Amino acid sequence: MGLGDINFLIVDVDGVLTDGRIFCSDKGEELKVFHVKDGSGIAFWHRAGKKTAIISGRKSKAVEHRAKELGIQDVYQDAHHKLEAYEKILKKHVLQDKEVCYVGDDLIDIPVLKRVGFSVAVAGSPPEVLQRVDYVTRARGGQGAVREVVEKILKFQGKWEEILKRYI
């Protein structure tokens, strides 16, 4: 686990940025609920000069909207083979596996989790996922798990104090 090398954060959406539930309106519109703690965690990550991406197996306008709101420019949706999207991110940003943290929650995430420098599963993930990661969050998906990961990495790298200066 090389937390010192991590400069890029990739997250799944359903079950990571959300609690995994999907609400559908009478008109068939899909609604998702995001936690403000995860949003602030991503803002802190960006403030530390780091970049983020989303890789999701589903496609949703809510994800596009939330990503834009959070300043996440690399959004790969409808990614049934997440490793393909991951490879595109590596190439685009000239990254090595050791520089990337990926946060996932299900079997579809395992190929990427096996590659990255710091692999994370959220609490409540299936055992097949939990046994293959470097870290399991205390928080469940959609309940601040991404914020927990951001704080862990930034504290390890000695960058958390700089974030705190803005508020203290």
Helix axis angle, 145-156 to 36-47, nearest 10°: 30
Q: What is the pLDDT of residue 158?
A: 96
pLDDT-flagged residues of the chain (< 50): none
- Burial class for 148, CB neighbours closer than 10 Å (0-12, 13-18, 19+): buried
Contact 15, 122 (CB under 8 A): yes
Beta strand pairing call for 118-123 and 100-104 = parallel
What local confidence, expressed as pLDDT, does residue 40 receive?
97
Whole-angstrom Cα distance, residue 144 to residue 122? 10
Structure confidence at residue 1 (pLDDT) = 60
Predicted pLDDT at 15: 96
pTM, 2 dp: 0.96
Q: Measure the CA dihedral 157/82/97/67, to 10°.
A: -40
Element (H, E) at 47: helix 36-47
Taking the C-alpha atoms of residue 161 and residue 63, their distance in angstroms, rounded to an integer, is 30
Report pLDDT for 48: 96
pLDDT for 2: 81
pLDDT value for 93: 98
Q: Where are the beta strands (DSSP E) in the chain?
A: 8-11, 23-24, 30-31, 51-55, 74-76, 100-104, 118-123, 135-140
Nearest to 141 by CA among 68, 46, 34, 61: 34
Say how far apart CA 13 and CA 165 lie, in whole Å: 30
First to last CA, the chain: 31
For position 144, what pLDDT does the model report? 97
Q: Which domains does the chain have, with CATH numbers?
A: 3-165 (3.40.50.1000)
Helix (H, G, I), strand (E, B) or coil at 143: coil
